[in-house]
C-alpha cells in the first residue's frame, strides 16, 4: 500500500470517527438531556435487538428516534451534499469564490418558497423549494449553453445574474408579504434542519447519498478539469459531457438540500478550502473527506443552534456563518493555508 493511500485512509477513518463522536453527542444533548449511556443502549437495541426486545415507548426513546435521529441524518446528508457540491463547483470552475449557491440554485428555491408561503401552501415548502431550484438550474443552463457547449465563464456569469435577479424578487415578495408570512420566509432563508416529515427525510437522504456516490465516480475527471478545460481534453477527458454531468449533479445536491433545510450558508464554500489545505487538492480524497467534514461541521453547528440559547432554537445557517467565518479567519491568520488552495 502506498504512503499516499495509507495517509488518505487514515484521514477518512479519523473523519468518520469524528463524525460518529459528534453524532452521539448531538443525540444525547438537547432540551431534554438523555444520558449518554442510555442513548447508546437505545441505539444498540434499535439496531440489533429490536426483534427480540420491542422498543419501550419511553419519552427518551420517542425524542431520540422521532426527533433527534431524523434531524441528525438530515444534518449529515445536507452537510455532506453542500460540501460535495462546493468541491465540484470550485473544481470545475477553478475559482475559489464559487460555492453551491453561486449558480442561482438557492435564489430560485427561495423565490418559490416565498410564493408558497404567501400562497398559504406552507406544507409544500420542500416541494416548492425543489421546483424553484430546478427551474433556476434549467434557466441558467439554457441561457449559458450555446450550440451544445457549456462555456464556464458564461455559466458563472449567468448564475450570478440569476442569483441577483432572484434576490431582488425575494425582496419584492417580502415587501408585499404579511408579518407572519415574513417570519416564515425569514426563518426558511436562514436555514434550519427541523424537517418533521420522516418519510421526506428518508427519501431526501437516500437521494442525496446516491448523488454523492455518483459524484465520487468523477473525481479523476475533476482532477483533470482543475488544470483547465483544454488540459483536461489533452488528458483524455470528454470535457463537454463531464461538465454537464457535474453541473447537473452539483445542482441536484444543492437544490435538494436547500429544499429541505433552507439556505445554510458557508458550508459549501469553506469546507472544501479547509480540506484542500489540510489534506490535498486531489479530488479523490478531497471529495469524500469534504463530505465527511461538512457533515461533521453541520451536525456540530446544529447542536450549537439547538442548545446555546435553549429553549430558544437558533437557525443553524446563522451558526454556520458565524462559526465558519471565525474559524476560517483564524486559519488564514495562522498562515497555515495561505493561498494553498
Residues 6+ apart with CB under 8 A from 18: 292, 296
CA–CA separation, 131 and 129 (whole Å): 6
Preceding peptide of 311 cis, ω within 30°: yes
- Residue of the chain from 231, 308, 309, 329 that contacts another protein (CB under 8 A): 231
Least Cα distance to 41 among 31, 30, 27 occurs for 27
CB of residue 24 vs another protein: minimum separation in angstroms? Answer: 31
Region near another protein per CB under 8 A, out of 16-24, 163-171, 227-235, 301-309: 227-235
Closest to another protein by CB, 232 vs 305, is: 232
Axis-axis angle for helices 179-190, 105-118 (nearest 10): 150
Strand residues in 158-301 grouped as ranges (E) = none
Number of residues that bind another protein (CB under 8 A): 31
DSSP string, 210-250: HHHHHHHTTHHHHHHHTT-HHHHHHTT--HHHHHHHHHHHH
Site string for another protein, 64-103 (x = CB under 8 A): ------------------------------xxx-------
CA–CA separation, 144 and 36 (whole Å): 52
Rule CB under 8 A: is residue 284 a binding residue for another protein?
yes
Rule CB under 8 A: is residue 228 a binding residue for another protein?
yes
Rule CB under 8 A: is residue 281 a binding residue for another protein?
yes
Q: Which of residues 321-340 bind another protein (CB under 8 A)?
A: 339-340
Q: Are 193 and 78 in contact (CB under 8 A)?
A: yes
DSSP string, 150-198: E-HHHHHHHHHHHHHHHHHHHHHHHHHS-HHHHHHHHHHHH-------H
**Strand-pair category, 145-146 with 149-150:** antiparallel
Rule CB under 8 A: is residue 219 a binding residue for another protein?
yes
Site string for another protein, 165-194 (x = CB under 8 A): ------------------------------
Q: Which of residues 1-60 bind another protein (CB under 8 A)?
A: 2, 4-5
Beta bridge partners of 149: 146
CB of residue 207 vs another protein: minimum separation in angstroms? Answer: 21
- Residue of the chain from 64, 77, 78, 237 that contacts another protein (CB under 8 A): 237
Residues 6+ apart with CB under 8 A from 302: 26, 71, 75, 193, 316, 319
- Residue of the chain from 38, 46, 220, 244 that contacts another protein (CB under 8 A): 220
Rule CB under 8 A: is residue 280 a binding residue for another protein?
yes
Site string for another protein, 112-151 (x = CB under 8 A): ----------------------------------------
Site string for another protein, 238-257 (x = CB under 8 A): x-------------------
Q: Are 290 and 268 in contact (CB under 8 A)?
A: no
Closest to another protein by CB, 99 vs 302, is: 99
Rule CB under 8 A: is residue 210 a binding residue for another protein?
no
CB of residue 96 vs another protein: minimum separation in angstroms? Answer: 8
- Residue of the chain from 25, 63, 216, 322 that contacts another protein (CB under 8 A): 216
The SS3 call for residue 145 is strand
Angle at 84 between CA 160 and CA 288, to 5 degrees: 160
Per CB under 8 A, residues contacting another protein are: 2, 4-5, 94-96, 216-217, 219-220, 223-224, 226-228, 230-231, 233-238, 276, 280-282, 284, 339-341
Amino acid at each position: 500500500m502506498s504512503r499516499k493511500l495509507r495517509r488518505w485512509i487514515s484521514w477518512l477513518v479519523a473523519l468518520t470517527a469524528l463524525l460518529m463522536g459528534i453524532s452521539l453527542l448531538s443525540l444525547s444533548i438537547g432540551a431534554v438531556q438523555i444520558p449518554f449511556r442510555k442513548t447508546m443502549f437505545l441505539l444498540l437495541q434499535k439496531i440489533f435487538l429490536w426483534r427480540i426486545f420491542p422498543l419501550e415507548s419511553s419519552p427518551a426513546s420517542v425524542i431520540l428516534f422521532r426527533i433527534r435521529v431524523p434531524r441528525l441524518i438530515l444534518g449529515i446528508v445536507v452537510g455532506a451534499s453542500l460540501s460535495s457540491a462546493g468541491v465540484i463547483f470550485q473544481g470545475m470552475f477553478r475559482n475559489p469564490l464559487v460555492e453551491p449557491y453561486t449558480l442561482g440554485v438557492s435564489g430560485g428555491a427561495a423565490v418559490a418558497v416565498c410564493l408558497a408561503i404567501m400562497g398559504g401552501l406552507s406544507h409544500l415548502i420542500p416541494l416548492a423549494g425543489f421546483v424553484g431550484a430546478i427551474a433556476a438550474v434549467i434557466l441558467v443552463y439554457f441561457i449559458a449553453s450555446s450550440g451544445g457547449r457549456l462555456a464556464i465563464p458564461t455559466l458563472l456569469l449567468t448564475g450570478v445574474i440569476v442569483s441577483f435577479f432572484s434576490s431582488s424578487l425575494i425582496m419584492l415578495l417580502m415587501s408585499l408579504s404579511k408579518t407572519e408570512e415574513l417570519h416564515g420566509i425569514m426563518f426558511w432563508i436562514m436555514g434550519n434542519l427541523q424537517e418533521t416529515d420522516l418519510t421526506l427525510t428518508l427519501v431526501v437522504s437516500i437521494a442525496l447519498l446516491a448523488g454523492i456516490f455518483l459524484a465520487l465516480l468523477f473525481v479523476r475527471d475533476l482532477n483533470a478539469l482543475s488544470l483547465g478545460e483544454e488540459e483536461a481534453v489533452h488528458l483524455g477527458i470528454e470535457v463537454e459531457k463531464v461538465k454537464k454531468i457535474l453541473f447537473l449533479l452539483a445542482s441536484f445536491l444543492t437544490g435538494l438540500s436547500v429544499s429541505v433545510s433552507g439556505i445554510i450558508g458557508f458550508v459549501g464554500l469553506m469546507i472544501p478550502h479547509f480540506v484542500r489545505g489540510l489534506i490535498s487538492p486531489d479530488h479523490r480524497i478531497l471529495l469524500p473527506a469534504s463530505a465527511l467534514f461538512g457533515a461533521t461541521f453541520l451536525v456540530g453547528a446544529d447542536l450549537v443552534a439547538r442548545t446555546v440559547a435553549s429553549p430558544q432554537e437558533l437557525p443553524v445557517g446563522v451558526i454556520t456563518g458565524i462559526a465558519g467565518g471565525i474559524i476560517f479567519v483564524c486559519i488564514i491568520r495562522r498562515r497555515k493555508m495561505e493561498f494553498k488552495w
